[in-house]
Amino acid sequence: MSLRPILIHPDPRLKKVATPVAEVTDDIRRLADDMLETMYDAPGIGLAAPQVGVMDRVLVMDCVKDPEATPDPMVLINPEIVEVSEAMNVYEEGCLSIPEQYAEVERPAEVSVKWLGLDGKTHSEHFDGLWATCVQHEIDHLNGKLFIDYLKPLKRQMITRKMVKLKRELARA
């Protein structure tokens, strides 16, 4: 297992639609392991493959925030939202590709998702609470969408300018 560098916005790879995975290969298993290690190290509650520069439809998440509780790592390949609730929920989201920037985003409060597991089988689950918010945020990444795309243009531009500055500073360091 190894840590992979996380891309920082703006980066063209974060705006692209990722490609469906045709088969669960050793490369995909290695990618999922590396993504979980990278997510826990960040730390974060989710990570999508495009954030580490891989344009495959793979995401990982673990929304168990309590460090004393048992971790619940999940790997979702080719995830699809099959049902959304009418009820909406607002959560102050962050993003590992947009460090230290947070904003309220409104999304369906509950979603049903189906995906391919590392076992090669189709799985489906109903998510609510933070899990529902996180899985939608990660599926957005697979579709080239960031949480700042839900914000007013002025706020989005302000955050993007901060990230351009941060990337310049990181490149100089």
Annotated binding-site ranges for Fe cation: 95, 137, 141
Query: Shortest distance, CB of residue 97 to ligand K1U, whole angstroms?
Result: 6
Helices (H), the chain: 26-41, 129-142, 153-172
The secondary structure of residue 14, as a DSSP letter, is: G
Residues that bind ligand K1U (CB under 6 A): 43-48, 65, 91, 93-97, 133-134, 137-138, 141
Q: Are the C-beta atoms of residues 57 and 78 closer than 8 Å to each other?
A: yes
> Catalytic one among 92, 106, 110, 138?
138
Return the SS3 of 18. Answer: coil
Q: Which is nearer to ligand K1U, 22 or 70 (CB)?
A: 70
Measured in degrees and rounded to the nearest 5, phi and psi for residue 123 equal -120, 155
Find which of Zn ion, ligand K1U, none residue 135 binds, CB within 5 to 8 Å per kind.
Answer: none
- Give the span between the Cα atoms of 88 and 114, in whole angstroms: 20
Query: Shortest distance, CB of residue 99 to ligand K1U, whole angstroms?
Result: 9
Q: Which is nearer to ligand K1U, 28 or 135 (CB)?
A: 135
Query: Shortest distance, CB of residue 131 to ligand K1U, whole angstroms?
Result: 10
For 78, the enclosing helix (H) or strand (E) is strand 74-84
37 is catalytic: no
List, by residue number, the catalytic residues: 138
